[in-house]
Copies of this chain bind each other. A is one copy, B any other.
Amino acid sequence: MQQINRVAIVGGIHGNELTGVYLVKKFEQFPQLIQRSSFETFTLLGNPQAFKLGRRYIDKDLNRCFYSQDLHDPTLSSYEEHRAKTIYQQLKPPGKSPVDLIIDLHSTTANMGLTLILGNTHPFNLQLAAYLSSINPLVRVYNGTQYGQKSAVLRSLCELSFSIEIGPVYQGVLDASFFNKTEELIHVILDYLEAYNQGKVLHRSSAFTLYQYVGTIDYPRNKNGEIQAMIHPQLQGKDYEELNPGEPIFLTFENQVITYEGESTVYPIFINEAAYYEKGIAMCLTEKHQLTIAKREE
């Protein structure tokens, strides 16, 4: 069994997602809150310049700057590309022990509750997801990574890693209710890691629901790339609910309904996420899987 020695809590990879920013600030002011006896926890503010300006990023999305080849490319020097290299050095300092686990704090304008986005399907990540799902019914587990796929997000730097994606939260707004829920979840996670290091097993259930990414849908656009329809009011806020072929997904400015033309039921998430307009994503589609995790060796 691998011991966990260093844990990083990262907030504000996107400067206008204030929950993570202020949780990091709180933990920096009261470090005892995140101390546990068997491992070191440290915090990191992802994009301080973007936070200062109230923006997601300065030059480009920082959470798309962590491709291994980009981190070692000296020609990349935008603010975020530079910042990604600095964060990489802090998480994996040359000649010192790298961080063992990353908790990356995000928020979304979509109605995604308390979503755990897995860095990958490492058994440890799945165990933790099963545990968190079992003690908090608000927790949803999402896997956006395809097996073997290269990834540019922060959480791809570590095998043991995940993002906490909470919503709906407005960009540039601090929401006390989600702030408190996220902080509680972090404490539960740190306590779980402590128990794990001490050889205790915090099992409550080995079964949980995993939402697996299968694709995205963009807004209907004209030839200039301009949006021609909105998320249909019946779909707005219905993240993680089933969407069947033939059901409304968009409403055009001429009040025409556009329906979902897929072949099977899916579970859309990130519906109408503000930051994804520029990425050509109106929603991500997932499939719902019931997983049962084999008990860990003790």
B176 touches A230 (CB 8 A): yes
- Bound Cα distance from A206 to B280, whole angstroms: 48
Residues of chain B with a CB closer than 8 A to A123's CB: none
B253 touches A29 (CB 8 A): yes
Stretch at the interface among A82-90, A145-153, A194-202, A270-278: A270-278
Stretch at the interface among A5-13, A96-104, A130-138, A231-239: A231-239
- In this complex, which of A54, A226, A275, A278 has the most chain B Cβ atoms within 10 angstroms of its Cβ? A54
What number of copies of this chain does the assembly contain? Answer: 2
Question: How many A residues touch the partner, as a band?
Answer: 35 or more
Known: A109-B170, A173-B109, A175-B236. A226 touches B25 (CB 8 A): yes
Residues of chain B with a CB closer than 8 A to A2's CB: none
B176 touches A233 (CB 8 A): yes
A203 within 8 A of B: no
B274 touches A172 (CB 8 A): yes
Q: Closest 3 interchain pairs by CB?
A: A172-B274, A176-B230, A109-B170
Interface positions of A (Cβ within 8 A of B)? 22, 25-26, 29-30, 54-55, 109, 168, 170-177, 179-180, 226-227, 230-233, 236, 251, 253-254, 272-275, 277-278
